[in-house]
Amino acid sequence: MAITWTKLAYEDDVILNTLLSAKGDIIYASGADTPARLAIGADDHILRVATDIPAWEAIGAPAAHTLNGHDAADGAVDFNLQEATDLIVMTVADEASLPAANVGVGQLCWATGELSLHICTVAV
């Protein structure tokens, strides 16, 4: 049978269990080599950090999210079966001006000269 040695830590080299007083407490460094206790937050609070100090913060109402608050979509936009209101469709002067590149199947284009709507059915 082999002999096993385990090094014991000195009290000054460990974080004592007494630092934590409740289930859910978090240990963080309040300074170099200075452990501190952050008490568990209330229900529906999230952990935030401001100027290197963690703190619990209530979750606020979500901000309004609109498509026009972002760059133009570069892929499919799922409307989740919702109506698209005030939708702008690509427009060209006439049928001869319908784009021949950089379009996708299903893309709509309105020819204002003929007042006709076109849909791309094949894209290469």
Compute φ and ψ for 17, nearest 5 degrees: -60, -25
Entry pTM: 0.43
Is the Cα dihedral 11, 37, 35, 23 positive or negative?
positive
Query: pLDDT value at position 68?
Result: 65
In the chain, % of residues over pLDDT 70: 94
Q: What are the extents of the domains in the chain? A: 25-60, 84-124
| Number of other residues whose CB lies within 10 A of the CB of residue 118 | 16
Give the residues of the chain that fall short of pLDDT 70.
65-69
pLDDT digits (tens, 9 = 90+) for 18-28: 899 899 999 99
